[in-house]
Amino acid sequence: MKAKREALTSLFTAMREEKVDADIIDLLLLINSINGVYTTSSCSGRIGIIEEPALGAKPLARWLVKVHRPIEFEEARRALKNAEKGLIFLKSQPPIFHIVAEDLERAKRLHELGLASGFKYTTFKVISKRYLVEINATEYLTAPLGKDGKVLVDDEYLLFAVDLGNDMLKRSKGRLPRLERNFKALKDELGEDELFYELAEEHGIEEKWRLP
């Protein structure tokens, strides 16, 4: 109960500060309203240009542009002008949800739900006596573009990479309605969480968003 209270407080605060991807807010509210489960870090899917000091140096990476919708070719090309040092990639990543379940049975149901919704990289594991389920898809693209501020591809290749990345992002985001339908069914099965509605009222969530 304490962990979910903290997670909901963090989510509602981030929503009011406009730090949550707008196109999955309704889905996040739905998931968190279900008895015995809650979300942690989640993303609606994104595409952009990133600069990494070296392979695997993610903590030091710098996004030159990052959006949660299809990116425009000119956006990508402008962003490349700001490259300075390191490896330059175009990256497209699908929606990802991290969900904690209070027991193994709920974790198994979340795992089944993710797979049934078309998110084929869905996994679950035990972390500090908690059951964490990661609902994830397969549409990842990492296309190298250059190094140390120098773009090593022409516009034709960049346009190809942008179009491919956008297609993959749209394909993965296209599964979100099915995921939402399956979570509505899970809520019917597990019931709603009174704590969610209590904290939503405290944070004034209904002033701007519709509660599930």
pLDDT, position 1: 66
Nearest to 93 by CA among 50, 148, 54, 125: 50
3-state secondary structure of 187: helix
- 63: Cβ contacts below 8 Å, ≥ 6 apart: 48, 49, 50, 51
Nearest to 49 by CA among 70, 79, 69: 79
- CA-to-CA distance for 98 and 40, rounded, in angstroms? 5
Q: What angle do CA 46, 50, 53 make, to 5 degrees?
A: 145
**Which pair of tokens denotes residue 30?**
């739905």
Q: How many beta carbons lie within 10 A of that of residue 115, not counting itself? A: 14
Lookup result for tokens 């250059």 = 146
Q: Are 117 and 175 contacting, i.e. CB atoms less than 8 angstroms apart?
A: yes
- Phi-psi region at 140: left, alpha or beta (left = phi > 0; alpha = psi -120 to 50): beta
- pTM (global) more than 0.75: yes
Nearest to 131 by CA among 99, 168, 167: 99
State pLDDT tens for residues 93-138.
999 999 999 999 999 999 999 999 999 999 988 777 789 999 999 9
Question: What CATH topology corresponds to 2-207?
Answer: SSo0622-like fold (3.30.1960)
**Which pair of tokens denotes residue 10?**
């963090």
State pLDDT tens for residues 61-82.
999 999 999 999 999 999 999 9
State pLDDT tens for residues 177-197.
999 999 999 999 999 999 999
Q: What is the DSSP letter of 170?
A: H
Say whether pLDDT at 161 is over 80: yes
